[in-house]
Amino acid sequence: MVDYHATNNQSLYSAGGPQIYMEQENDWDRDLLLDPAWEKQQRKVRASESPGAAAGACAMRYLFLRKLLSCLPRPQEGAMSKIMQLYNNNNYYYYLFFKAKIVDGNAKMTLGMIWTIILRFAIQDISVEETSAKEGLLLWCQRKTAPYKNVNVQNFHISWKDGLAFNALIHRHRPELIDYDKLRKDDPVTNLNNAFEVAERYLDIPKMLDAEDIVNTARPDEKAIMTYVSSFYHAFSGAQKAETAANRICKVLAVNQENEHLMEDYEKLASDLLEWIRRTIPWLENRAPEKTMTEMQQKLEDFRDYRRVHKPPKVQEKCQLEINFNTLQTKLRLSNRPAFMPSEGRMVSDINGAWHKLEGAEKGYEEWLLNEIRRLERLDHLAEKFRQKAAIHESWTDGKEAMLTQKDYETASLSEIKALLKKHEAFESDLAAHQDRVEQIAAIAQELNELDYYDSPSVNARCQKICEQWDALGSLTQSRRESLERTEKQLESIDELYLEYAKRAAPFNNWMEGAMEDLQDMFIVHNIEEIQGLITAHDQFKSTLPEANKEREAIQAIQAEVQKIAQYNGIKLAGNNPYTTITPQSIDKKWEKVQQLVPQRDQALQEELARQQSNDHLRRQFANQANMIGPWIQNKMEEIGRISIEMNGTLEDQLTHLRQYEQSIIEYKPNIDQLEGDHQLIQEALIFDNKYTAYTMEHLRVGWEQLLTTIARTINEIENQILTRDAKGISQEQLHEYRTSFNHFDKDHSGVLQAEEFKACLISLGYDVENDKQGDAEFGRIMGIVDPNNSGAVTFQAFIDFMSRETTDTDTADQVIASFKILAGDKNYITAEELRRELPPDQAEYCIARMAPYTGPDAVPGALDYMSFSTALYGESEDSQEPIELTYHPPSRPEEEFLCENVKSAQSVVLSSSNNIREILQKTSFLMF
């Protein structure tokens, strides 16, 4: 604290007397002391300090003494201590010393001392934005005159010569006194006289200057103009308070406007994202099957386009939405605003829920697509198999009904009848052999119906025709047998060799037909093992060909033996074998066909083997990449978790490191794209399983998106910490201490503190939250701040928000109400006109649009309720702060005595209002805590 008694004694009353004090005034231009014109002007300015001043040196001395006496300390009345008596005697001793000098007519010293007093008591206390005296007064003038044309205040001499600056100061505070638009820059005398007369008449400011002296002087006296301008500053000090109040309100409103803009952006982005999800889900839930493989493959391609093109930007939008929401909540906490609650249905949880539903529909749609493609593939295979078997069967049945209905046995000989009977037996054997094929045709048709084949009606019609024809053949066969058996007794001769030929040729012929059917049968496999199984089965079939060839040669030998016997015995054969239609030529032809089909089957199986080997290569190629990318993503997630709890360097260093880390992750994206390409090749090859990896493309996609989201969230957390640090004035050391304490109690490195861990952390920081009634209540209060959702866990962001709130100060609702009260002239309401006059246009209209009408007993038309508006900005109004006790010391200067005239008899002062405490402390620096 400054000892003003000591200061006064060392300055005014030191050994050098007044001359030494005068030498300490650094801005005293000594050359001007020798200028008679300057002395004349100074006499006028100093004399004007007393409204009753008269011209002449005698009157000047009288006025100065009178002013000096009014400023000197008065003797202490009543009982005085020895020290106080000496103090009063010394004051008057030095007063007589100066009086003698003044009476002697020392005009220079007299004027200099008067300037010192003016500087001390009229100018010295002026301060604008922590500047003082001359600089503060100049800054005040520049701000007040900034809106006026032809005014540019840069100093206290030539900037005032045209008189417009004086008129601008008056018009800014009392616009009804001056018509500023009628003033002309080229008429300085009129301008100056107008300002001086208005100031003297309406503002009680003496006319200290002459217009002609200012205009006719190349550089008007700086001290004279500064003294005169300081009178305007003091006259308009009330307006200065209003401007301070307006600045505070503008600051608060600017924060609120920015927050509202962020809220609107969030609402729009959330609405757009939810609308996109709403439109997309029905498309993904549409399970209408297509009839052909081509149409389903087009659906699959459309789904791939959605995955590659349409969804990734929405993933980024969702991540950015969460980041914007967290940043907005941080800004609201930092400005003591209530937390932002999005409109119904647009919460982050709502968006996450909709996104989860979207991903569920997406997964179900992909599974449906692949299953439907498998179904259509199976259907195409079955339909082709049905057509082949039906064609073979229809070819075999062609002409059979005519054969079974002919009456050849009525005119045949016994041998012919016996032959017909044997032939019929062979036919029955052949018919029985075809029973399996008919059953297979019916089974395939049934499966096509069950799989909802689009051309099922034609399949069913063809199958029905085959079954009806088969039943008819059975009936006809039975009927012919009965006819032949009736005449069998009449027929005895038969050619045993023909019969043996027929019996052996029929099954062999049927075997060849079955072999040809199997060799031409379509096959579908999905892996190497299945195709290798088919190749093994085919090799086993080829191994039976030598035995089959022996059987063919044996059958052909029977026919050769018939020819040999007939020739030897001179028998004329009636024609072909009467017991069968299978000729040696047909057997050889079918055997040749089997021989041709075997290598064709070999080639088809080898081609399929090559395709499956290619598919296996695609599986391995995808698996190799997936088995690297999957652990890489997992490691990156773990590394981000470690980085988020480590403390390496400043927050800016951590942010730079994280952004570099994010860039390295983004640069890994080509690997993901390459894997997507491999996955597309797998899908195009209709590969549905992969034994070489446990990772699926869907799993890796989700992991990649989570990785990008996690690093973005971690960066946002550091940015919010920087925002908190800068807004709250937290030092890097404090943040380091907070992080150290947080990490120490975060035993499981989860990034959050459970309730008991957080309590231990608070105890280590000095909070009284021990397990007693009072401690539990205090801990409950703190948990309500850091964990408003009752999750039982405290994040690091919530922890530093709490610690910064405990250690820093911010604007409060009470402070904003006090500022509005100043603008309202101490009324309980404010008008729109007052808001437009005191605030910038946009912020004035912002308040007017949001303030409710004032309804108090003193309300007037158009009154607005600024109290409820201010409270709404911050939520509930803060409780009053604890009283501050101040110790009183006797004042050592006249202005101090004036400020303390209401408390000079008290031993201490208790200030219960927190709103004006700083203002009081600034003006009463002689009060000690």
Q: How confident is the model at residue 13 (pLDDT cuts 50, 70, 90)?
A: very low
Residue 74: both structure tokens together:
């008065």
Whether 27 has a pLDDT exceeding 70, the answer reads no
Domain 255-395 coded CATH 3.40.640.10: no
The amino acid occupying position 102 is I
The CATH class given to the 813-869 domain equals mainly alpha
Q: How far apart are CA 786 and CA 754, in angstroms?
A: 12
**Among 452, 451, 461, 466, which residue's Cα sits nearest to residue 390?**
466
Looking at residue 312, what is its pLDDT? 92
The DSSP secondary structure of 71-90, one letter per residue, reads HSPPPPPSS--HHHHHHHHH
d(CA 663, CA 516): 64
751's CB contacts (< 8 A; 6+ apart) are: 641, 644, 645, 795, 796
Residue range 217-233: mean pLDDT, rounded: 90
How remote is the C-alpha of 599 from its chain's centroid?
64
Predicted confidence at residue 59, as pLDDT, reads 37
Q: Where are the domains of the chain?
A: 255-395, 410-582, 605-716, 750-802, 813-869
At residue 924, the pLDDT reads 37
Model confidence at 736: pLDDT above 80: no
pLDDT band, very low/low/confident/very high, at 688 (cuts 50, 70, 90): confident
Rounded-to-integer distance, Cα 759 and Cα 769, Å: 7
Amino acid present at 856: G
Q: Does the pLDDT at position 877 exceed 70?
A: no
Residue 333 clears pLDDT 70, i.e. is over it: yes
Burial annotation 387-413 (CB, 10 A radius, 16+ → b, else e): ebbbebbeebbeebeeebeeeebeebe
For residue 128, what pLDDT is reported? 61
Per the model's pLDDT, the better-predicted residue between 48 and 307 turns out to be: 307
pLDDT digits (tens, 9 = 90+) for 203-215: 889 988 899 989 9
pLDDT at res. 776: 81
**Coil/strand/helix, residue 151:** coil
Among 8-12, 78-82, 213-217, 838-842, the range scoring the smallest mean pLDDT is 8-12
Separation of alpha carbons 241 and 238, rounded Å? 5
Q: 410-582 with 813-869: one CATH topology? A: no
What is the H or E stretch that residue 372 is in? Answer: helix 348-397
Asked if pLDDT for residue 597 goes beyond 50, the answer is yes
**pLDDT(302) > 70:** yes
pLDDT value of residue 891:
44
Residue 78 Ramachandran class (φ > 0 left, ψ -120 to 50 alpha, else beta):
left
At position 268, the amino acid (one-letter code) is K
Residue 118 has a pLDDT of: 64
pLDDT value of residue 878: 40
- Residue 580 structure tokens: 């069968």
Cα 566 → chain centroid: 101
Residue 605 pLDDT more than 50? yes
| Residue 455 dihedral angles phi and psi, to the nearest 5° | -105, 30
Digit-coded pLDDT (tens) for 895-907: 344 334 443 333 3
Pairing mode, strands 830-831 and 863-864:
antiparallel
Percentage of the chain beyond pLDDT 70 is 75
Stretch 829-846: mean pLDDT: 88
Length of the chain: 929
**pLDDT(20) > 60:** no
What would the mean pLDDT of 760-764 be, rounded to a whole number?
Answer: 81
pLDDT of residue 572: 57
- Residue 701 in this model has a pLDDT that exceeds 50: yes
Per DSSP bridges, beta strands 884-887 and 863-864 are unpaired
Please give the residue that has the higher pLDDT: either 295 or 442: 442
Residues 18/101, Cβ–Cβ less than 8 Å? yes
pLDDT band, residue 127 (cuts 50/70/90): low
- Tokens 């900034």 — which residue? 146
749-766 residues labelled b (16+ CB within 10 A) or e (exposed): eebbbbeebbbbbbeeee
Within 8 A by CB and 6+ apart from 781, the residues are: none
Q: Which residue has the higher pLDDT, 68 or 875?
A: 875
Phi, psi dihedrals of residue 831, rounded to the nearest 5°: -105, 160
The angle formed by the CA atoms of residues 61, 65 and 67, to the nearest 5 degrees, is 115
pLDDT at 818 over 80: yes
- Those residues with Cβ within 8 angstroms of residue 404's Cβ, 6 or more apart along the chain or in another chain: 427, 473, 476, 477, 479, 480
The pTM is what?
Answer: 0.49
Average pLDDT (632-644) is: 85
Q: What kind of fold does domain 605-716 have according to CATH?
A: Methane Monooxygenase Hydroxylase; Chain G, domain 1 (1.20.58)
Between 1.20.58.60, 3.40.50.1370, 1.20.120.450, 2.10.70.10, what CATH number should domain 410-582 receive?
A: 1.20.58.60
Compare 692 and 15 and report the one with higher pLDDT. 692
Residue 159 has pLDDT above 80, yes or no: yes
Distance, in Å, from the CA atom of 698 to the CA atom of 304, rounded to the nearest integer, reads 12
Q: Tokens representing 697?
A: 């493309």
pLDDT of 901 reads 42
- What are the φ/ψ torsions at residue 155 (nearest 5 degrees)? -160, -175
- Number of helices and strands (H, E) in the chain? 36, 6
Question: Does pLDDT of 629 surpass 90?
Answer: yes
Return the higher-pLDDT residue of 776 and 728.
776
**Per residue, what are the HEC states of 620-652?**
HHHHHHHHHHHHHHHHHHHHHHHHHHCCCCCHH
Close Cβ partners of 510 (under 8 Å, ≥ 6 residues apart): 430, 433
Q: Cα torsion at 663, 667, 669, 672 (round to 10°)?
A: -120
